[in-house]
């Protein structure tokens, strides 16, 4: 039995354009994000969908609702899909994160699986949480087609499990763009990507490659 899962990163938020380490801070959708949502909704208008699951945060829920409005269904809030709890780093400017938490910044660049966010989660805890949520959703929807709207950090942890089977795989993870669509197939107990980070619903001028953020790069550019 085949279950199809569309994994979608949320639309652009104000935190994205303000260069913040958002974590679970509930940032508003940006004007560009609103345009992304219109186009994402149209992309899925004629797709068969049985259920939509979303992180509770506004940027993810708005992404789910953009699709749900064409399917007469209510998105299901799944707390396990929420973004990383960054504790005291939450919603800080990236430059401030690098200055105040240099050890975490170093791990984020070189070994993100070892990150321990002060006052928040460890990356291992995030890995276990989001993958448990994925497993629950698959178990609830055998043979169906579902949409999941979540966050960049959550998606990197899902990718690590699906492609490498362990948290260290996050070091080689894809970087997911705002409203990027990845198609996941669950079959006979296995998981495989059919496509990753598809942005074809956006026009070329909005289809920028996702930013592979690096604290090391800030140092090279003398920003920190």
Closest CA to 20 of 213, 172, 173: 213
Q: What does the CA dihedral 81, 87, 93, 96 come to, rounded to 10 degrees?
A: -150
For residue 141, give the 3-state DSSP assignment.
coil
Q: Is 151 a catalytic residue?
A: yes
For residue 120, give the DSSP letter: S
The pLDDT score that the predictor gives to residue 174 is: 86
CA distance 199 to 181: 7
The pLDDT score that the predictor gives to residue 107 is: 93
Q: Which of 48, 71, 151, 201 is the catalytic position?
A: 151
Place of tokens 């920028």: 208
Q: Is 10 a catalytic residue?
A: yes
- Give 8's strand partners: 149, 181
The pLDDT score that the predictor gives to residue 152 is: 96
pLDDT in tens, the chain (224 residues): 999 999 999 999 999 999 999 999 999 999 999 999 999 999 999 999 999 999 999 999 999 999 999 999 999 999 999 999 999 999 999 999 989 999 999 999 999 999 999 999 999 999 999 999 999 999 999 999 999 999 999 999 999 999 999 999 999 998 899 999 999 999 999 999 999 999 999 998 887 655 556 676 655 555 44
CA distance 141 to 1: 11
pTM surpassing 0.85?
Answer: yes
CA distance 115 to 169: 13
The pLDDT score that the predictor gives to residue 224 is: 43
């Amino acid at each position: 039995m085949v279950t199809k899962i569309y994994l979608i990163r949320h639309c652009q938020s104000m935190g994205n354009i303000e260069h913040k380490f958002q974590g679970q801070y509930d940032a508003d959708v940006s004007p560009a994000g609103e345009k992304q949502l219109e186009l994402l909704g149209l992309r899925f208008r004629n797709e068969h969908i049985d259920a939509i699951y979303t992180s509770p945060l506004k940027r993810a829920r708005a992404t789910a609702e953009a699709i749900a409005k064409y399917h007469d269904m209510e998105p299901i809030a799944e707390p396990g899909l929420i973004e990383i709890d960054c504790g005291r780093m939450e919603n800080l400017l990236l430059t401030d994160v690098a200055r105040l938490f240099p050890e975490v910044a170093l791990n984020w660049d070189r070994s993100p699986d070892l990150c321990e966010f002060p006052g928040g989660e460890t990356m291992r805890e995030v890995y276990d949480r989001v993958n448990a949520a994925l497993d629950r959703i698959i178990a609830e929807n055998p043979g169906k087609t579902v949409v999941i709207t979540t966050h960049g950090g959550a998606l990197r942890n899902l990718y690590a499990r699906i492609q490498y089977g362990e948290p260290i795989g996050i070091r080689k993870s894809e970087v997911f763009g705002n409203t990027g669509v990845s198609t996941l197939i669950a079959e006979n107990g296995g998981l495989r990507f059919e496509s990753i980070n598809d942005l074809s619903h956006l026009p070329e001028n909005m289809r920028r490659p996702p930013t592979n953020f690096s604290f090391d790069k800030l140092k090279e550019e003398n920003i920190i």
